Amino acid sequence: MLVLGIESSCDETGIALYDTERGLLSHALYSQIAMHAEYGGVVPELASRDHIRRALPLTQQVLDDAGLLLSDLDGIAYTQGPGLAGALLVGTSIAEALAFALNIPTVGVHHLEGHLLAPLLEANPPSFPFVALLVSGGHTQLMRVSGIGDYELLGDTLDDAAGEAFDKTAKLLGLGYPGGPAVSKLAASGKAGRFKLPRPLLNSGDLNFSFSGLKTAVLSIVNDEKSQSGQLDENSKADIAFEFQEAVTEVLTTKCMNALRETGLDSLIVSGGVGANQRLRERLNQAARRKLCHVHYPRPEFCTDNGAMIAFAGAFRLNSMRMQNAIEGNHGFTVKPRWDLAELHTP
């Protein structure tokens, strides 16, 4: 089954083609980072307008790259939520319009399910069940994944997600957007020992996260440094970034190992934008070797939002719907800016 995937939940337009027999055939991504950097964050209206400009040219690009035509498609998958309402509407309306014209089925995909399943696109995918750390811009969650659509929430963030904490810390340090890569790059030149930051909920006895207090602690250090010297010099910024990254990655690594122990599983997957952080990968790999566990990651380009993960998740759902004769021909649609992953069902 050949499926076109369309991702437009936030500030990246992702298009991909996935075939259930041949795998991922082609994919393309346009990032709006340069446009939003001027404003220090995503401007929803600008994001929606840019998706309109990019979606169809990118669709033609992936078809050309794969040597295929629109008429070859068997179905279309699109991100239905969660995300920015206007941005979601762009991808959804394009998907449903194309599907109506081609008389093929569609399926709305949960954005976080796409992230959860992204490591399955790799050459050596994990087998179900496994523990998943979903650590994207607005989400930090630990899940037990027993199959596609079979997800059990083990731990969640009580306030800021790790990605949000990276972005807010970047602003406090006067860095650019997006904050995660900027903080990580600066941390590489920082030194340990000068500053000390808390490790929130590290020993809480549960699998929940909290990063709001960590961001506040960074603010306190920044203000203290400025009050003493009148400014925050580059060495201080680097040392703060180093300690901040150490704090976040220590908490994430410890909670992941605790989740594996509590579930009795030996396989962990890491998805979402923060999953591309090299220090996090280094710590997780070290911990996994000690625990005799396995860690799986999507390639860096599939950590951030992308069409491949939507095409992949959608292909499995559409194929299952076809086998159950559950495909509907109605091309009316709605989007779900807020959508709990627990509402999903096994296809």
Q: What is the pLDDT of residues 51-90, one digit of tens each?
A: 999 999 999 999 999 999 999 999 999 999 999 999 999 9
State the DSSP string of 102-138: HT--EEEEEHHHHHHHGGGGSSSPPPSSEEEEEE-SS
Tell which residue, 128, 150, 110, 113, has the closest CA to residue 268: 128
Q: DSSP alpha helices (H): ranges in the chain?
A: 33-37, 44-66, 85-102, 111-117, 162-172, 179-187, 212-229, 234-263, 278-291, 307-323
| Dist. CA 310–CA 113, nearest whole Å | 8
Residue 127 phi/psi, 5-degree rounding, is -100, 150
pLDDT over 90 at 115, yes or no? yes
Q: How many CB atoms lie within 10 A of CB 287?
A: 17
DSSP helix/strand/coil, 267: strand
What per-residue confidence (pLDDT) applies to 73?
Answer: 98
pLDDT over 90 at 332, yes or no? no
What torsion, rounded to 10 degrees, do the Cα atoms 313, 119, 112, 40 define?
-130
* pLDDT tens, residue by residue, 264-288: 999 999 999 999 999 999 999 999 9
What per-residue confidence (pLDDT) applies to 188?
Answer: 96
| Dist. CA 241–CA 190, nearest whole Å | 7
Query: Which run of H or E residues covers position 152?
Result: strand 150-156
pLDDT over 90 at 37, yes or no? no
Query: Which tokens is 101 given?
Result: 């014209």
What per-residue confidence (pLDDT) applies to 136?
Answer: 82
List b or e across 29-41, with b for residues whose CB sees 16 or more CB atoms inside 10 angstroms.
bbbbeeebeeeee
Which is it for strands 130-135 and 267-271: parallel, antiparallel or unpaired? parallel
| Dist. CA 258–CA 334, nearest whole Å | 38
Confidence of residue 39 (pLDDT cuts 50, 70, 90): confident
Residue 130 β-bridge partners: 145
Burial class of residue 232, CB neighbours in 10 A (0-12, 13-18, 19+):
middle
pLDDT over 80 at 228, yes or no? yes
Query: Which tokens is 142 given?
Result: 């630990």
Query: Which tokens is 31 given?
Result: 């990032």
pTM: 0.92
Residue 132 phi/psi, 5-degree rounding, is -120, 130
Query: Which tokens is 206 given?
Result: 């549960």
2-116+303-343 and 127-297 share one fold: yes
Query: Which tokens is 4 given?
Result: 């076109």
| Dist. CA 269–CA 277, nearest whole Å | 14
| CATH top class, domain 2-116+303-343 | alpha beta
Q: Which CATH number is associated with domain 127-297?
A: 3.30.420.40
| Dist. CA 256–CA 135, nearest whole Å | 11
Q: What is the mean pLDDT of residues 182-196?
A: 96
Angle at 247 between CA 84 and CA 133, to 5 degrees: 50
pLDDT over 80 at 313, yes or no? yes
Q: Of 45-49, 194-198, 332-336, give the lowest mean pLDDT range.
A: 332-336
Within 13 Å of residue 268, how many CA atoms lie on the same side as its CB? Answer: 31
Both ends of the chain: CA-CA distance in Å? Answer: 16
Within 13 Å of residue 9, how many CA atoms lie on the same side as its CB? Answer: 28
Domain ranges for the chain, please list them. 2-116+303-343, 127-297
Work out the mean pLDDT of the chain and round it to a whole number: 94
| Dist. CA 137–CA 209, nearest whole Å | 14
**Residue that has been written with the tokens 């990655």 in this structure:** 249
pLDDT over 90 at 260, yes or no? yes
Residue 327 β-bridge partners: none
